[in-house]
Structures are given as C-alpha cells and as structure tokens.
Structure 1
C-alpha cells in the first residue's frame, strides 16, 4: 500500500529527540498507544492502517508482532532516558488487537511495565470486535493486566452493519458484555457509528437502546465519514450509496445526546459520554490535553514535549527497521509555540471542561461575544465551553476563534 504519511524532517537512526522535548518529561501524563494492524476483513468505511492476512505479504506474521512491539517499547525507554516515567494509560487499537493471543498482548504490557513501570491506577484498554473474544479469552486478558475493554459495536441493525462491511452478529454483543463483566473488566466502552446510508432514525434508536441495555460505563458515537480511498467512497462515487446528509447527522447526534444523557451518561468530549468521571477515557483525554505519548507499531504517531513523529506504515518496513536496530520512525516535526497554541484550541474546545480564555489570542477573545450571542458557547468569563448547539457546529466555532 502506498504511504500517505507526511514527509516531515528526518529522524536520527537511534530515534533521539531534541533536548527541549525531554526537558519537561515527567511533568505531564505519559501514555503508550500500541497499534495492532491486523483485521480478518477490511471494513468498507475504514481508512486506518490495517491489513488482512492476504495483504501482509511475505516476511510479516501476526505470530512475531508482539516481539516487534516489545522491541519498540525498549527503544522508547532508551530514547527517553532514565527519567522516572510511570505509564498512566495504555491503549491498544487497530485493526483488531484481540486477533492476537491474550498472552501476546500480555507480553507487550509486561514489557511496558518492565521498562517504565505502570502507575498504580493505570488505565489499560484494548479494543475488540464482538466476534473476536469470548469468556475464556477475556479472562486471560484480564489476568494479563487489562482493565478496560472498548467494543466496536457500530450498530445493532444487521442491514446497517452490512453496508459498513461489519461481519459480527449484533445479537452476540450482550453476551460479550456479560463475559467482560464476569472476567472482571472494570470499565466497558461501546463504540457506535451513526449516519450510515440507509440507516433510519428508528434504526439509530434501536442501536442506542441496545447499547444502553448493556449498561456500558462509556459510549463513543461518531458520525460516519466517507474517507477517500475506501470501498465505501467508491460505492458513493458510483452512485450505489448516497453521501451522508449533514442534517441527518446533526439530528442523530441530538438523538444520541438525549438518549445517553437520560440514561445517566454525560458528555465530556463532543463524541464521548461517560457514566461518571472515573469512566472517562483517560488515554484519549491525554491526547486532547496535550500530554506525552509514545505510539508503538506501524503508522503509529507519537508526541513528546512538542515533537511529533510517525512510524513507517507497512508492517514489513516496520519489522525491518527494528530488526536492523534503527528507529521505525518515518519522519517528525518540531511544533513551534504558535502551532501548539492552535492545536490546543482545536482540541480543548471539544471538551466539557472547555478551553481557558487565556489560551486565545486577541482576535479569538474578540470573537467570544458573537459566539455567545449565536448560542454556540456558554456565557462565561474564564472558559470557552460549547453549548449543545455549539457541539453540532464545533468546527465552525474553532474557525471563528482562530481566524
């Protein structure tokens, strides 16, 4: 697959970071993201860096992936030095991490603990598809140290899942949730998608009802985006499916917010709802709040102290770099102060806690009265907090704050 990674600037062969990136290390939360790029089938809407067995090519195997991930964990420790750096959050995403044996996922987590140490209250999450786990698997995964499960449910309606090329049976989801609880998982999150072509409001209501019947601690609900290069985009381009309608997406967002709120899940980020503060995804909060994290795996992105870098995309290239004793990083960028400020506005405006007004420049502060008058942000002197209407138009709010 051709790489779509940005070019950036070269990374030293040993992966070393500029001194200024390491200066504040340990003063910000630190997490690790582990990308597991394997899928049984490719979903038509997905543009993530994932590969089926047929797409991997020679020299790449799921069986050796844990060893490669462990090698990058050790590289991260060498690059970051001897600074005491307990890991607050670990998140395994993909792809489908649970296509690997739980013992492999356990070895990756054990390497993180050995090299850095897990914080006593570390949040350790893995994504899973409902058809990739059962009680026995989940018990072994929990014994390995994982305490949070994020299930890719997407929809409870078969014809919607068919358009998305999702292969799991939605009737299995309640049983998997029950198995996760029985295995001892402390937090359970469900991922949903709305706005799929052919999905009615009744279909979306059925999905929300089915999700809430599972009593999740956390729900993520994302509008469907038709990404260039995906099978879904090709179907839309050929006229086989309509493009998602913005008004329909907005209505379904409101529908979700009302149903989830009534069930006791409050929004804390535009697309995320949690039972209470403890159920919020702390790993993702680290992204939104500008924390430090190291991304393990092909195509994974990292950020430490204002330096962002990204790994080579294909698993074969990734494995080859590590086998050769060099960093798998493809390139990096050093963020200047203004870029960091702009990104802070982009991200923190999405949070229920809001953005400090002090983070805005003069033009941004000047835009606030108009945003309040238009009902897009709350009338507060200290923070920029989106209203319900503002969440629907969050991109427009950010544009006005940064123009």
Structure 2
C-alpha cells in the first residue's frame, strides 16, 4: 500500500502562500512535477502513491480514472497560476512520474504539457521527461509525445533477467526495453534507463547481465537504485514470512561497485550517488533542481511541492484530489514552513550526494570539524577537502553516504 503522508500544519484551502515565499520566486529554476497515479499492476516492492484501475472502481468518479485525470490536473494548474501570480518564472523542467504515466493516452499527456506552457510559459531549452514502462509505449505513442514537446523518456527497465523481474512483479518482457529505446530514438527523444539491484535471488552475474544489456542500448542516462524493503508492501510481508531473503548490505555494496565499474568503463560519469550520465548535458536537470533546493509545483494526488521555503503535499487518493479541485479548493493536505536549520540539513543531505560536493565553509562548526575524520576514514576525498575546500565523496563514501551526512550534521 502507498506510504503515509508526513505530518504538517493545515494548508489553506485557497492554496495561498506566504508573501516571503512568493518573493523568492525566480531566484532558482522553476519546475513542474506531474504525478500520474495509475498502474496496471502494483509491484510488490512499491510504496509509491499508485492505484490499479480495479482499485479505483468503475472510473465514474471524476479525476479517479484515466479518462478524467488530465482535466483534474489542468484544474490544479489553474490554481497554481492563481497562487503564484505574475512573478513565476518560465518552467525550466517538467517531469511526469507515477505510477505509469504512459497508461494515459499520449494526447492527454501533451494536453497537460500544453496546460503548463499556457499558464507559465516553457523555456525554449526546457527538459520535459515522462516515465514509462517498456510495455506501455509504442512507436506511435512516443512519436506523438515528441511532437507534443516531450524531450526525454525514462524507461523502467529494472532488470534484464526474467526471474528477477518476476520477483519484483514487473510484467514486461525484457525484449520490450530494446524496442522502446529504438522507438524513442527514432522519435528524437533522449533516453534514461532505471535499474534496481539487490532483489532477492539476484546473483552478481544476474546484475552484470542487466548492466551489460543496459549499456549495449546506449542510453543517455542510467539510474541504479538499491532495492529497499518498504513497510506495508507485499515484498515486506514476504520477507517477514521468510518466503524471500532480505537484501544484504554487503551484496548491495558489491553490486553498486560493479555498476560504477561497468558504467564508468562505458563512458558514463556519476553525478549523484545513484545516477550516471553520458555527459553533463544528459544529466536529469529536473532532479538537479530538487537536489539544489529549487522551486517546483507538484501536480496530482500525493504530489509534493516546494516554493520559497514552503513545502506542501496533496491528498493521496485520486477521488479526494479531484473532489477538492471540483469544489474550487486546493488539494493540499498539509504543509510545512522550513526553518533555517531544516534548510541547512537538507542542503547537506542532498548536496553531499552530488559529485561536485558541498563547500566546507557552508557547514556548521561541528560539520567542519568532522571533515578531517571523514578524510581519514576514506569517505571524503582529501585533496578536494584541503585544496578546493569541497566535501566530495570517495566511492567508499558513496556507499556510506548516509553515515557521511550524519557526521557532517554533527
């Protein structure tokens, strides 16, 4: 089942933001995230805010079906335009995630993108990405998305090994990935592949096969994430019953190092702990906006937003989301006004994971004191810390990034 929303203070039904937050608009790139919560099957490891079509009933509730989702999303974009006013900058990045966004007709995804452009303006160099499952696209659908303004597709490959995909409850044929990549290339779209390692029963050879298969497809970008067993998921229940073994830290560390070796040898450079790109121009600019503390409006059930130090999140269920918008209200469930301390902590948490690192001078005194010990432990690059006054992770530091962050935060 989807994870619970965080706690927070009540969000105004009007969606209005403090004047101080609006005054900061334009000081950082502005993006839009669109959450499409529909899936054909709920994967056993997933705790994202997603719903199968059968879970949502007969589709008669506006906004809670494939056919009515786009109109609800456009209503939220109207709200966003009213709230943000004339000070909002052009949109630099759009990311459509889920769920499986490409279960929607491509015309609906293009309509939402046009809605963003009409209300805010879209930078001529905007990065516009949609996630997709390999079995939810066709040559025609990808061509329609490209013609409608999408520039990039992120395909959920996860693995090239059938038994690993079965354990993850992924339903696509591995051969569909190569077909989808070919169709995307023909349409002129950039391509990113998402991989998962550490699945119960996945051997190191299985993982190497997935990496080699991905590299052979020559994507622009690769994301590789360690499997996390989230409470409330079917996989967590299987682990608890002993049906499948829990992922092991040492195994996942070996697989991360193998990923870095294979991807580096193929010409991909890491720029965030779990992300590699063929060159800097192919980095995911939308995610870089998150990591740099930028501003974005999240559209859709359960979507999170951040503007000027205010973070808020929408109600989770598609029916509740659409109902609030139909009543003229904000779909926000709650919000928080970030303190200076929270903003600093997030800057360390996210910035330390980037290849460029963070400046030592930006740390609190306890964090600056911790740098020498992190260098001695081989977690932070010594020359970068001494010469450049930057905290940059070594590969061992990437494996223990959470430990590094805790020590930098004292």
Q: CA deviation at 1:27?
A: 1.5
Q: What secondary structure, in the 3-state scheme, does the structure 1 residue paired with 2:329 have? A: coil
Alignment correspondent of 1:391 = 398
Counterpart Cα distance in 2 of 1:387 and 1:2: 34
1:72 and 2:76 are equivalent in the alignment: yes
Q: CA deviation at 1:6?
A: 2.2
Distance 1:178 1:201, change over 3 A: same
Q: What secondary structure, in the 3-state scheme, does the structure 1 residue paired with 2:259 have? A: helix
Alignment correspondent of 2:49 = 49
Aligned partners of 2:91 and 2:123 also within 8 Å: yes
Counterpart Cα distance in 1 of 2:333 and 2:341: 24
Aligned partners of 2:2 and 2:49 also within 8 Å: no
Alignment correspondent of 1:161 = 165
Distance 1:130 1:2, change over 3 A: closer
Q: CA deviation at 1:3?
A: 7.3
After superposition, the CA RMSD in angstroms is 1.0
Structure 1, unmatched stretches of 5+, are: none
1:373 and 2:376 are equivalent in the alignment: yes
Q: Which moved more, 1:78-87 or 1:221-230?
A: 78-87
Q: Which moved more, 1:172-181 or 1:96-105?
A: 172-181
Q: What secondary structure, in the 3-state scheme, does the structure 2 residue paired with 1:182 have? A: helix
Alignment correspondent of 1:271 = 274
Counterpart pick for 1:139 among 143, 150, 160: 143
Q: What secondary structure, in the 3-state scheme, does the structure 2 residue paired with 1:81 have? A: helix
Q: CA deviation at 1:84?
A: 4.5
1:114 and 2:118 are equivalent in the alignment: yes
Alignment of 1:188-337 (within 5 A): 188-337=191-340
Alignment of 1:334-353 (within 5 A): 334-353=337-356
Q: CA deviation at 1:112?
A: 0.3
Alignment correspondent of 1:17 = 17
Counterpart Cα distance in 2 of 1:362 and 1:315: 46
Counterpart Cα distance in 2 of 1:9 and 1:337: 17
Q: What secondary structure, in the 3-state scheme, does the structure 1 residue paired with 2:38 have? A: coil
TM-score by length of 2: 0.97
Counterpart pick for 1:89 among 69, 74, 93: 93
Q: CA deviation at 1:175?
A: 1.2
Counterpart Cα distance in 1 of 2:72 and 2:327: 12
Q: What secondary structure, in the 3-state scheme, does the structure 2 residue paired with 1:193 have? A: strand
Q: CA deviation at 1:2?
A: 8.3
Counterpart Cα distance in 2 of 1:353 and 1:302: 25
Q: What secondary structure, in the 3-state scheme, does the structure 1 residue paired with 2:51 have? A: coil
Q: Give the number of aligned pairs.
A: 402
Aligned partners of 2:74 and 2:115 also within 8 Å: yes
Alignment correspondent of 2:176 = 172
Structure 1 stretches of at least 4 aligned residues deviating more than 6 Å after TM superposition: none
Aligned partners of 1:355 and 1:383 also within 8 Å: yes
Aligned partners of 1:125 and 1:146 also within 8 Å: yes
Counterpart Cα distance in 2 of 1:230 and 1:30: 33
Counterpart Cα distance in 2 of 1:211 and 1:3: 30
Aligned partners of 1:21 and 1:305 also within 8 Å: yes
Alignment correspondent of 1:5 = 5
Q: What secondary structure, in the 3-state scheme, does the structure 1 residue paired with 2:86 have? A: coil
Q: What secondary structure, in the 3-state scheme, does the structure 1 residue paired with 2:333 have? A: strand
Alignment correspondent of 1:400 = 407
Q: What secondary structure, in the 3-state scheme, does the structure 1 residue paired with 2:191 have? A: strand
Aligned partners of 1:127 and 1:151 also within 8 Å: yes
Q: CA deviation at 1:7?
A: 2.8
Q: CA deviation at 1:176?
A: 1.0
Structure 2, unmatched stretches of 5+, are: none
TM-score by length of 1: 0.98
Aligned partners of 1:3 and 1:313 also within 8 Å: no
Counterpart Cα distance in 2 of 1:346 and 1:100: 35
